[in-house]
Structure 1
Amino acid sequence: MSETLPSIQAATFAIGDFRLFALSDGEVSLDPVIFAHPEAVIEAKAQAARAGSETLQTAVNAYLLKSRERTILIDAGDNRGFGTETGQLIAAMKQVGIGPEDIDIVLLTHMHVDHVGHLADAAGSAVFRNAQLLVPDREWSFWWDDGTMSRAPAARLSAFKTARNATQPYKSCLHRFSDNEKLFSGVTAVSLPGHSPGHTGYLIDSNGDSVFIFGDVVHGTNFQFLHPEWGVAFDQDPELAASTRKRAFEMAAS
């Protein structure tokens, strides 16, 4: 029996000299109890119930940024690492006329499973074989530090293995960048730690237009904008993540 996946989605925006494509890799189901604050759990359960479900359906997205000089992929989806209804990123890229071989740069917001899923194939080879991988230095240092991995609880070891396996084939074309570094004309990294040690957003700014891509700053759109202090179990440093959320919202509103 053939399997039916959710329809592939892509949205396109003009940002000055850039074209930005928001690409869907699919959705994952989240248990409302992942929200660390009791009131957040109540809100999440209510949101799920309104959709006729006991779980929250959360989109897994990546972004394609095209300029005259280069084609950049921001994050690499889940590819069924975290959920069974993901894995559509490559098809979504092809829908807008871009294949894996056309990617010049892959930028990561962080190295969690649902952001590195399509980097390597089943044989451990680079999917984006012509691309350079750009990763926040603090993020790379955390996931590739053997001492940190050895001290991690057993439940976290798979996250380290996934991050390493996904990025291993890009070690020869890796660039690690500093907090808030200007990466290219019109593309600046914005340090947003807390969800992970080196979690980073990207400010795209061109000819008076701008967009702020802030990764996993938000998981519950219906209530975290009103209550940035409400975090999720995935936040490695909950207090720092809350502070970062407030700062990210202020930046996005300015």
Structure 2
Amino acid sequence: MLTRRQILTTATAALASPLLPRRLWAGASVTMGSTQIDTLSDGTLTLPGDFILGGMPQQEMQAIVAKYGLPTDQLTPPCNVTLLRDGTNTVLFDVGAGPDFQPSAGKLLDAFDALGLSPDDVTHVLFTHAHPDHIWGLLDEFDEPMFANAAYMIGQAEFDYWMDPDTVNTIGEARTTFAVGAQRRLQAIAEQIEFIADGAEVLPGVAAHLTPGHTPGHMAYEIRSGSESVMVVGDSIGNHHVAFERPDWASGSDQDKDMAAATRVSLLDRLAAEQIALIGYHLPGGGIGRAEKSDTGYRFIET
């Protein structure tokens, strides 16, 4: 028997243009042995510049951002959802924004359709954190899990923070909806969630790494195959300009700004020193690249 979610998904796919080109939705790809990793576009966000750039040394910040040809009053970062397929598992790292956050985001099902995938194909969902653009795509329009056959994994600290009834009162007025939305979605899958710890191998070849600061329990995920590896960094490195050039600067988007800066510096040090490829949720070109040391910090090199 078809569920309401399946009926909705089928209807949406039927309305989609059969000529929709894959390039609109598939950002970038990397293959490691038998593992295929793709980044899928969930669209873009529209954010006031201060949400990311607020509190930074303004003159130096403006010089960096201008070098990348970007304004400082408004930013429109891409959203890259990572998809891993190894022949056994079909794994999503985060699920995008869904239809209720911003009209320019929530395009993940279009990406699935372009690739010939169904939400029912997903075996695992691994969350980096529970901000709206990463988790609000979890439920369909009937408040049923969009990825009905998936197992869900999240860090214990991240889950506990968003499920704490005090969070909505302490997170700040501008982010109250973040807390309400995260709690509603996590509650819907609470009985299906597996909690993961720092350093744990959560799936064959996939290890979790606690990268706190952006949110209290933010996780990155290192995918390994033989001598090759790539790190899904989520929002622990949130952009390709100031986050790389001055990772030590506090960013307005981070909930614990000092901790996030320390995490960013440590993570970039490791990625650059060990030449580990990275996938950033809000990085350009599909988000796949490398960190390269520069005179003042780092630079993002798209691959």
Q: TM-score if structure 2 supplies the norm length? A: 0.76
Q: In the TM superposition, what whole-angstrom CA distance separates every residue of 1:116-145 from its partner, at most 9, and x where no partner exists?
A: 121001221100000111011110010001
Hey, what does 1:95 align to over in structure 2? Answer: 114
**TM-score, length basis structure 1:** 0.90
Residue in 2 that maps onto 1:130: 149
1:47 to 1:118, Cα distance in 2 relative to 1, 3 A: farther
- Is 1:185–2:211 an aligned residue pair? no
Match for residue 32 of structure 1? Answer: 49
What is the aligned length?
Answer: 251
Paired position in structure 2 for 1:201: 220
Once the two structures are TM-superposed, the CA of residue 146 in structure 1 deviates from its matched residue by: 1.8
1:28, distance to aligned residue in structure 2 (A): 1.1
One-letter amino acid of the counterpart of residue 141, structure 1:
D
**Identical amino acids, percent of aligned pairs:** 29
Map of 1:12-91 to 2, 5 A cutoff?
Answer: 12-34=29-51, 35=53, 36-39=55-58, 41-43=61-63, 46=66, 50=69, 54-91=73-110
Q: Aligned-pair distance for 1:220?
A: 3.0
Aligned mates of 1:45, 1:224 — CA distance in 2 = 11
CA RMSD of aligned residues (A): 2.5
C-alpha distance 24-231 of structure 1, shift in aligned 2 (>3 A): farther
CA positional deviation for 1:69: 2.2
Give the Å deviation of 1:151.
3.9
Deviations 1:146-183 (A, max 9, x none): 23334443433211111022223222211011122111
Once the two structures are TM-superposed, the CA of residue 54 in structure 1 deviates from its matched residue by 4.6
Work out whether residues 99 and 137 of structure 2, in 8 Å CA contact, stay in contact via their aligned partners in 1. Answer: no
Q: Which consecutive residues of structure 2, in runs of 5 or more, have no partner in the other structure?
A: 1-19, 275-303
Residue 11 (structure 1) aligned to one of 11, 23, 28: 28
Aligned mate of 1:227, from 224, 246, 250: 246
Change (3 A) 1:150 1:85: closer
**Unmatched tracts of structure 1, length 5 or more:** none
| CA deviations over 1:72-100 (Å, ceiling 9, x no partner) | 10011123544321121111122223210
Residues 212 and 236 of structure 2 are in contact (CA less than 8 Å); yes or no, is this contact kept in structure 1? Answer: no
Please point out which of 113, 116, 130 is paired with 2:132: 113
1:21-47 CA-to-partner distances (Å, cap 9, x unmatched) read 101101112222221303365247636
What are the residue-to-residue correspondences of 1:230-241 with 2, within 5 Å? 230-241=249-260
Matches within 5 A, 1:144-159: 144-159=163-178
3-state DSSP of counterpart to 1:63 = strand
